[in-house]
Amino acid sequence: MNFYRKGARFERDLIHFLNYKGFSVSRTASSGGYLYPVDILAMKKGLILAFECKAHKVKPRLQKDKLKKFKEWCDRAGAMGFLAWRAPQNKWLFLRMEDAEKRNYADENWIEMQNFIKAVDFR
């Protein structure tokens, strides 16, 4: 399976899950691009979440220039930014943008799906 299809499938799975949890969700066109450095937007009663999604076998890291664009976009939109990773064995993990900025990609900084949803689904 090529990388695009694998990544797009992960994004669609995450969209369906977030929608099931009551979020209004959109997969953005030109994701990863210069103007739209976000793959998925999820909104619920004023809460805005932005995701850069990766479906790699090894723990992903964002390039500094992409991370800078992602942070600027989130700041303008008032969104909380996350790196979403579909790890091996279909395990979904999330890293706060603040941790990615500090290059804190250690295992203990990644949030598992059930804890992530509990933390952000408070509205």
Asked if residue 64 belongs to a domain, the reply is yes
Q: pLDDT tens digit string along 37-73? A: 889 999 999 999 999 998 878 888 888 888 999 999 9
The average pLDDT across 77-104 equals: 91
Domain that holds residue 65: 3-102+113-120
Asked if residue 107 belongs to a domain, the reply is no
Domain count along the chain: 1
- What pLDDT, on the 0 to 100 scale, is given for residue 9? 78
Candidates 14, 21, 13, 26; CA nearest to 121 is 21
Asked if residue 88 belongs to a domain, the reply is yes
Contacts of 93 by beta carbon, 8 Å cutoff, 6+ apart? 84, 85, 87, 110, 111, 112, 113
- What pLDDT, on the 0 to 100 scale, is given for residue 110? 94
The average pLDDT across 11-38 equals: 82
The DSSP 8-state label assigned to residue 34 in this structure reads S
Asked if residue 16 belongs to a domain, the reply is yes
| This prediction's pTM | 0.86
- What pLDDT, on the 0 to 100 scale, is given for residue 29? 65
- What pLDDT, on the 0 to 100 scale, is given for residue 106? 93
CATH number of domain containing 37: 3.40.1350.10
How far is 123 from 102, CA to CA, in rounded Å? 28
Q: What ranges make up the beta strands (E) of 1-114? A: 24-27, 40-44, 47-54, 80-87, 91-96, 111-112
| Residue 78 region by backbone torsions, left for phi larger than 0, else alpha for psi between -120 and 50, else beta | left
Residue 80: half-sphere exposure toward Cβ, Cα within 13 Å: 16
The average pLDDT across 93-102 equals: 94
